[in-house]
Amino acid sequence: MAVLFVLCHGLALTLLPAAATVLSFCFLIAAPLLAGAACLWQGRRGAALGWQATALAMLLWASGMALNMADALHAGDPSSTPQISLLFYVAYGVPLVFVLARARRERWAISLIDALLAALLGVLFFLHTRYHANAGDAGMAGLRMMFDIQNVGIAAFALLRWACTDLPDRRAFFRVLAIYALAYLAVAGYINHVSEYSPFGLYADLLIDLPFLLLAVLALRAREPAPSRTRPRLRHAVQAGGPMILPLLLLVVATLVVDHQRYWALAGFVAAILGFGLRSMLLQVGLLERQAALDALARLDGLTGVANRRQFDAVLQAEWNRARRQGGALSLLLIDIDHFKRFNDTYGHPAGDRCLQKVAAVLQATAARGADLVARYGGEEFAVVVPAASPEKAHELGERLRLAVQAIPAGDLPQAVTISVGVAGAWPASPQPLEALLAGADAALYAAKRAGRNRVQTWVETGQEQGVPAGDG
C-alpha cells in the first residue's frame, strides 16, 4: 500500500502536469494523516500516550501543509511558505519532544507541567523562526539550521529512549519513532538544503511521502520483545535525565529570542526554572509516597493488614534486647484460630480469608496499647508482642482477646469462631534465651488446644503450665 501510494503520487505528477501542484499537495497532506491514523490504531494496544502524541504531531504537520497549499493557490507561488504554516511545522515537534521528555509513569499534575513547558517551547521556537523568516537569506539559513537542530534532537532522543527502555510496548514505540525520526531527518535535510528553492509539484515531493509512509507501516507492525541484555545504569540515567530535556530546551530557545522578544524570553526563563522546580517537588512527593508504600508492604501482611513475620521477628528481637538492657519485662502471646482447617474446607478459601481478616482486625483493636504488636505468625496463627508486661498482665490481655473474638457478630462470618492463646513471659534476671520465650508460648498454646481449645494457657519457667478455664475472666 505504501509503494502504491508513492506510485500514484508519481503518476499524478506525470499524467496531469497542469494540476501537479494541487495533486502533490493532496498527497503530501494525506501521507501524514495516514501515519497519524496508524499511530492511533496502534495506540489501542500499548504506550497509548506516545502513539497519540505522534498522531497529534502528524496532524499538525498535515495542517501546516494544508495552509501551505491554500496560500500557494491564493498567491500563485508554490515555492513560498507562509508564516502560519511555519507555526504548524514548528508545533509538529512539540508533542514529540513532550513524549520523549516524559518518564515511564507520571501523575497528571506533572504531565500538565510538561505540556505547558512544551507549549511555551513551541511558541518561542515559532517566534524565533518567524524572526529568521523575515531576515532575508541569512535569516533563512538560520531558520533551516533551527529545523535541523529540532530534527536531530528528536532523532537522538528517540534512539536513546529505544536503547534504554525495558518495557516491550514502550520499546516498540520508541523503535518506530527513532526509525521515523532518522528518515524524516534525512529527507528534511535534503529538501531544506539541496532543493530549498524548488516549488511543490515536482518529483522531489515523492521523497516527502517516504518518512510518513514508513511511520504508517512501522506503526501497524510495531512489535518489540524485551531486550535480552539490560542496561540498568544507563536506563536509570535516561529516566532521571529525561525531565531535564524540556527545561533545558526552553532555556536555550529563550536565550536565542532574548534580543528580539525580551518578554517572551523572560517568560521562558521563569517557566523553565519554576516548572522544573515544581516538577521535581511533585516527583519527590511521589517517590516518598511509593517508598512509604513499599515500607508498608515489607512490614505488613498483605491479607490481614497486621505486621508480617519479618516485622514480628525484628520487633521481638528489639524488645528482647531492650528488656535485657533496661531490666523490664516482656511477654508474648501466640494465638491459633480453633478448627480453622475445618472452617476453610467447609466454607471455602474466600470465607477463610475473611475469617483471618476479621480475627486480625479484632485482635488489633483489642490490643489497644501503642507498644503492643499484633502480627500474623503463619497460616491461621497470630502473635502479640507485649513489652513491659508481666505474664499475669499478658494473660489478662489474652482473655480479652479470646472474648473479643468469641463475640464477633454471627452475621460477619458463616459460623462463630474461637481462639486458643498461649502466653509466655521473660524477666530481666532470667538466663533463658529468646528462643525459650518462643518455645514457652508455643508449648502453652498447644496445652490450651489439648485442654479443649477456646482458652488461655500460661507458661512459666519451672516447666509447669498455669491455665484459666474458657469461661473465666
CATH code: domain of residue 353: 3.30.70.270
Please, what is the end-to-end C-alpha distance for the chain in angstroms? 85
> Which of 252, 271, 297 is where one domain is finished?
297
Environment class of residue 301 by beta-carbon count within 10 Å: exposed (0-12), middle (13-18) or buried (19+)?
buried
256 and 289, same domain (yes or no): yes
Pairing between β-strand 465-468 and β-strand 456-459 as defined by DSSP bridges: antiparallel
| Number of domains the chain contains | 2
Task: Give pLDDT, residue 335.
Answer: 96
Are 219 and 367 found together in one domain?
no
Predicted pLDDT at 279: 86
pLDDT of residue 354: 94
| Residue 118 is assigned to a structural domain of this protein | yes
Confidence (pLDDT) at 61:
95
Question: Which residue is it, cell 482473655?
Answer: 399
Q: Are residues 137 and 158 in the same domain?
A: yes
pLDDT, tens digit (0-9, with 9 covering 90-100), for 193-206: 887 667 888 888 99
DSSP β-bridge partners for residue 425: 331
CB count within 10 Å of CB 136 equals 9
Is 304 contained in some domain? no
The reply to whether 255 and 397 lie within a common domain is no
Q: Which of 241, 272, 297 is the last residue of a domain?
A: 297
Please, which residues have CB within 8 angstroms of residue 156's CB and are 6 or more apart in sequence?
A: none
On whether both 287 and 370 belong to a single domain, the answer is no
Please list the alpha-helical segments (H only) found in 407-455: 434-450
Partners of 387 in beta bridges: 330
Q: In what order do the strands lie in the sheet with 373-378?
A: 373-378, 381-387, 330-337, 419-426, 456-459, 465-468
Q: Residue 473 domain-assigned?
A: no
Give tens-digit pLDDT for 407-447.
998 788 999 999 999 999 887 556 678 888 999 999 999 99
341 shares its domain with 449: yes
Same domain assignment for residues 275 and 326: no
**Shared domain check, 314 and 252:** no
Cβ contact 102:123 at 8 Å: no
On whether both 13 and 44 belong to a single domain, the answer is yes
Place of cell 508533542: 95
Choose the final residue of a domain: 261, 276, 297.
297
Strand 456-459 with 373-378, pairing? unpaired
Per-residue confidence (pLDDT) for residue 153, from 0 to 100 = 86
Cβ neighbourhood burial of 469 (10 Å; 0-12, 13-18, 19+): exposed
On whether both 120 and 147 belong to a single domain, the answer is yes
Cell of 90: 514548528
Instruction: Show the domain range for 29.
Output: 2-297
Do 86 and 204 fall into the same domain? yes
> Are 33 and 54 contacting, i.e. CB atoms less than 8 angstroms apart?
no
d(CA 117, CA 252): 13
Whether 84 and 129 map to the same domain: the answer is yes
Do the strands 381-387 and 330-337 form a parallel or antiparallel pair, or are they unpaired? antiparallel
pLDDT in tens, the chain (473 residues): 889 999 999 999 999 988 888 999 999 999 999 999 999 999 887 668 889 999 999 999 999 999 988 888 776 555 556 677 888 888 898 899 888 877 666 677 888 888 888 889 888 888 877 777 666 666 677 777 778 888 898 998 899 888 888 778 888 899 999 999 999 999 999 888 887 667 888 888 999 999 999 999 999 987 766 555 556 777 777 777 777 888 888 898 888 888 888 899 999 999 999 998 998 898 888 888 888 888 877 889 989 999 999 999 999 999 998 888 888 889 999 999 999 999 999 999 999 999 999 999 999 999 868 789 999 999 999 999 999 888 899 999 999 999 999 999 878 899 999 999 999 988 755 667 888 899 999 999 999 999 999 999 998 654 444 443 333 43
